[in-house]
Chain A
Amino acid sequence: ETGVTQSPTHLIKTRGQQVTLRCSSQSGHNTVSWYQQALGQGPQFIFQYYREEENGRGNFPPRFSGLQFPNYSSELNVNALELDDSALYLCASSLAGDTQYFGPGTRLTVL
Chain B
Amino acid sequence: GQQLNQSPQSMFIQEGEDVSMNCTSSSIFNTWLWYKQEPGEGPVLLIALYKAGELTSNGRLTAQFGITRKDSFLNISASIPSDVGIYFCAGQTQGGSEKLVFGKGTKLTVNP
- What CA separation (Å) do A99 and B100 show in the bound complex? 10
Give the number of chain B interface residues (Cβ < 8 Å): 25
| Contact status A98-B42, CB under 8 Å | no
Given A58-B1, A99-B48, also A33-B97 (CB < 8 A) = yes
Q: How far is the CB of B37 from chain A (nearest CB, A)?
A: 9
A56, A59, A102: which contacts B1 (Cβ < 8 A)? A59
Q: Which residue of B lies closest to A9 (CB)?
A: B40
Give the number of chain A interface residues (Cβ < 8 Å): 29
- What CA separation (Å) do A4 and B45 show in the bound complex? 14
Q: Which residue of B lies closest to A101 (CB)?
A: B45
* Across-interface contacts of B40 in A (CB, < 8 A): 104
* Across-interface contacts of B103 in A (CB, < 8 A): 42
| CB proximity to A under 8 Å, residues B1-60 | 1, 3-4, 6, 35, 40-45, 48
* Across-interface contacts of B43 in A (CB, < 8 A): 43, 90, 102
- What CA separation (Å) do A45 and B91 show in the bound complex? 12
| Contact status A42-B104, CB under 8 Å | yes
* Across-interface contacts of A83 in B (CB, < 8 A): none
Q: Which residue of A lies closest to B88 (CB)?
A: A42
A-B contacts, 7 listed (Cβ < 8 Å): A42-B88, A59-B1, A94-B96, A96-B96, A96-B97, A99-B45, A102-B43
